[in-house]
Structure 1
Amino acid sequence: MLKADSIYLEFDGRKVLQSIYIEAEPGKVTGLLGRNGSGKSSLLKVIFGTLEPHYKYINIDGQHVKKGYAGGHIAYLPQHGYLPTHQTIERSARMLVDVNDWDNFARHEVYQKFRLNKPGQLSGGELRKLETLMILYSKAPYILLDEPFTHVSPIQADEIKAIIRERCRIKGFIVTDHQYQNILEISDQLVLLQNGATRSVTDADELITYGYISGK
């Protein structure tokens, strides 16, 4: 299990994250919800290790870790593109995708069509789907996804959701997206980030109570 606890982060004297607890475990998808600017992306970066807060406690499989990415424990899809622009999709994929899952990854039409292209030659939706697929088929046992359904078509979003559910059998996920309906659909457990603190949500109706969505 991956546990992130007691994270405290300030920007220019403003408390962004405090009273934080979130976890992921193989077999489950944890959905992270919150309004724009609530700190969802910052939280994922802290867990991954690319943003250093004032305090954090990250535990992976019973071991305290300083950087989530160290040792290949966590794979992270950032909100913005991450693939090197100077190399082909195939070369990037060979670096990221687990060799044991290569055939499962390479069968996807979007890879077959664009594997010899560079990122700048793809549309935003095509590139986002490929970036997401590479993370989903990586070796890491824990996956953080920031906005995987943004910039993709509804059909592509449905395909990504199906793969998340398939990969969830052996991996733990934390997924966040502004399209909260997709998060509600795929999540086994929900966490709402509000006023810098996390709340465990056991029923979608609680999202109305907490003011995240309208009851109309």
Structure 2
Amino acid sequence: MVRISQHRIFEDKNNLIYILNQYSYLKSIFTVAMDTLKKLLYADSIEFSYTHSVDILTGVHIQCEIGEVVGLLGRNGCGKSTLMKIIFGVIKPKLAFIRINDIRYSKGYLSKNICYLPQQKFLPNYLAVTDVIKLMVEDKIKQNALLNDDEIIVTIKNQKVAELSGGEIRYLELMILLQKNSDFYLLDEPFSGVSPYMKERIQQIILSHNDKGFIISDHHYQTVLETATRIVLLQNGGCRRIESKKDLEMFYVPEGTFDEE
């Protein structure tokens, strides 16, 4: 029979404890590292006013992770478009802290990881749809996919932008924007003027992009509710998280709006 000394047992026990402690330490470092690498659009302490007497945004905080569709609701004039413009960097705030994937930016557009769809159309009227796509979509495979596989674009690709309806232009702009290899997208009125079929297509495409994060705002709040994974209400210069339709009736829409659902 092999005898094991108490000293040997004690030594082995200490070695085991040491190994377990090292494992826990390495695991904690790995967890912190993974949290640091988590892709996140983070905007905080945003303040803006058009005059010295009227504050539009006062310490606004909003954030978006990959896989999220954040619906930004609020009454006309509350600052939704202004907030997106500040995050992207096309207007200057009084104060703003913008971080994209843990890197701070004075203007969002300085990062390749954010795209912005403004309310106003940006495609030149004199170009044909095919030329616009070839000009604005660098990847040849993505060009061909839009021109040959997207059933809406296929029907308009030989027309000039000036000949398109407002909804067709909006759809085309959004599809072009989504070909960018960015992590986050700010979409201001993405459903404006589109047909019911285009609306469904846009919703499907947004929700299929689990590799991207979206902040969307639209005056068709029902469409935003259908599309968003969570809702934020911009009210009185700040953002309020909406947890339920009851919250919406309390702070945004008339009481009883959702009674028939």
Question: Structure 1 residue 80 and structure 2 residue 120: aligned?
Answer: yes
1 or 2, which has the higher helix percentage?
2
In the TM superposition, what is the alpha-carbon distance from 1:63 to its structure 2 partner? Answer: 0.4
Separation (CA, whole Å) in 2 of partners of 1:172 and 1:98: 22
How does 1:1-216 map onto structure 2 within 5 Å?
1-13=40-52, 14-97=54-137, 99=139, 101-106=142-147, 107-167=149-209, 169-210=210-251, 212-216=252-256
138 and 96 in structure 1: CA distance in 2 versus 1, 3 angstrom threshold: farther
**1:81-111: per-residue Cα shift (whole Å, max 9, x none)?**
0112333323332344362644443321232
Greater radius of gyration (CA): 2
Calculate percent identity across the aligned residue pairs: 38
Whole-Å Cα distance in 1 between the matches of residues 229 and 182 of structure 2? 20
Cα distance in 2 for partners of 1:71, 1:98 equals: 18
- Checking the alignment, whether the CA contact within 8 Å between 1:15 and 1:196 is kept in structure 2 is yes
Question: Is contact 1:96–1:138 with CA below 8 Å preserved after alignment?
Answer: no
Give the distance between the partners of 2:180 and 2:207, measured in 1 at CA: 15
Structure 2 unaligned runs (5+)? Answer: 1-39, 257-261
How far did residue 138 of structure 1 move? 2.0
Instruction: Indicate the RMSD between aligned Cα atoms, in angstroms.
Output: 1.6
3-state SS of paired residue (1:183)? helix
Flag the structure with more relative contact order, 1 or 2, with Cα contacts below 8 A and sequence separation at least 6: 1
Name the CA shift for 1:186/1:84 in 2 (closer, same or farther; >3 Å): same
Conserved? CA contact 1:18–1:197, under 8 Å: yes
With normalisation by structure 1, the TM-score equals: 0.93
Tell me the distance in 1 between the aligned counterparts of 2:146 and 2:78: 33
How far apart in 2 are the matches of 1:67 and 1:98? 24
Measure the CA separation in 2 of the matches of 1:108 and 1:64: 37
Task: Give the letter for the 1:164 counterpart.
Answer: I
CA distances 1:171-194 after superposition (whole Å, capped 9, x unpaired) = 000001111111111111111000
The aligned counterpart of 2:6 is: none
Q: Note if contact 2:105-2:111 (Cα within 8 Å) is conserved in structure 1.
A: no
Code of the residue aligned with 1:20 in structure 2: it is V
Letter in 1 for 2:238: A
Normalised TM-score (structure 2):
0.77
Alignment check: 8 A CA contact 1:148 1:177 kept: yes
Shift of 1:38: 0.7
CA distance in 2, matches of 1:9, 1:158: 35
> Which runs of no fewer than 5 residues in structure 1 stay unpaired?
none
Q: Which moved more, 1:120-129 or 1:89-98?
A: 89-98
Q: CA deviation at 1:68?
A: 1.0
